[in-house]
Amino acid sequence: MIETAVVGPVPRSELAGWRDEFGILAGITRRGEADSPFDLGLGGTGPVGEVLDRWGALRRAVPGCRGIVVSRQVHGTRVLWHDDARGVVIHEGFDGHATGSSGFLLAVSVADCIPVYVIDPVRRVVALLHAGWRGTSAGILGAGLAELARRGSSVENVLVHCGVGICGSCYEVGSEVFAGCGLPAPANGRGGLDLRAVLVEQARALGVDRVSTSQFCSKHDPGFFSHRGGSGGRMVGYLGLL
């Protein structure tokens, strides 16, 4: 699956294939103009009013979208189910969101961590997960799949896409991160870790056959915010049923 740019006032890219085939909207905002970045970070240093205006612009950019749900994330594995949302609704302490209802967007904040999109187009339930290395090692993907299973999803119908995030070449980490992700550490104790590859292996181990990854790295590809790259802003991965 390939994220393609969407023309409009909000800088963003989406998985056109999912929209066309399944009626599911999956995308991510981009950095935007250098002199006026489209920063959606809830914990940043920018004026709160400007940040919330950008969240409102994202909602209005999606026809029929009455709300967006997001959370202040803690690199954990809690996934929250939503039946509806109106306006911008901010929760505390969740790193995943799931729904079977249309008309609003699930959202996660990222700037190197991986937004993981999980969909069951047969049952029409979806989940969006925030996966840094701690969430990945703790099992956020399994938690998202379990939440959908509780709503009637069958794993054989599930598709997973590991979205825009930092690549293995740019993500140099220590031995404790490798160990946390169940991997042997490099000989010198540090090396590049491909989080998306770890998530792909986890998805397959959990029974998901259809797994894809983004072609973009948030650090070395232009147009994205990257914590490792020194930019303080945040992008938003979003997912919803049309």
Question: Does the pLDDT value for residue 95 go beyond 90?
Answer: yes
Q: What is the pLDDT of residues 141-188, one digit of tens each?
A: 999 999 999 999 999 999 999 999 999 999 999 999 999 999 998 988
DSSP of 144-173: HHHHHHHTT--GGG-EEEE-SB--TTT-EE
How far apart are alpha carbons 125 and 158 in whole angstroms? 9
pLDDT band at 45 (very low <50, low <70, confident <90, very high): low
For residue 224, count CB atoms less than 10 angstroms from its CB and return exposed for 0-12, middle for 13-18, buried for 19 or more.
Answer: buried
Angle made by CA atoms 218, 113, 115, in degrees to the nearest 5: 95
Q: Are 77 and 138 in contact (CB under 8 A)?
A: yes
Question: Does the pLDDT value for residue 47 go beyond 90?
Answer: no
Question: Does the pLDDT value for residue 119 go beyond 90?
Answer: yes
What is the pLDDT, as a whole number, of residue 44?
A: 66
Q: What is the pLDDT of residues 176-227, one digit of tens each?
A: 999 999 999 898 889 999 999 999 999 999 999 999 999 999 999 999 999 9
206's tokens: 């959990």
Question: Does the pLDDT value for residue 16 go beyond 70?
Answer: yes
**Strand 79-82 versus strand 24-29 pairing type:** unpaired
Q: What is the pTM assigned to this prediction?
A: 0.97
Over residues 106-133, mean pLDDT: 98
Which domains, ranges and CATH numbers included, belong to the chain?
3-241 (3.60.140.10)
What is the pLDDT, as a whole number, of residue 92?
A: 96
Question: Does the pLDDT value for residue 237 go beyond 80?
Answer: yes
Q: Are 145 and 157 in contact (CB under 8 A)?
A: no
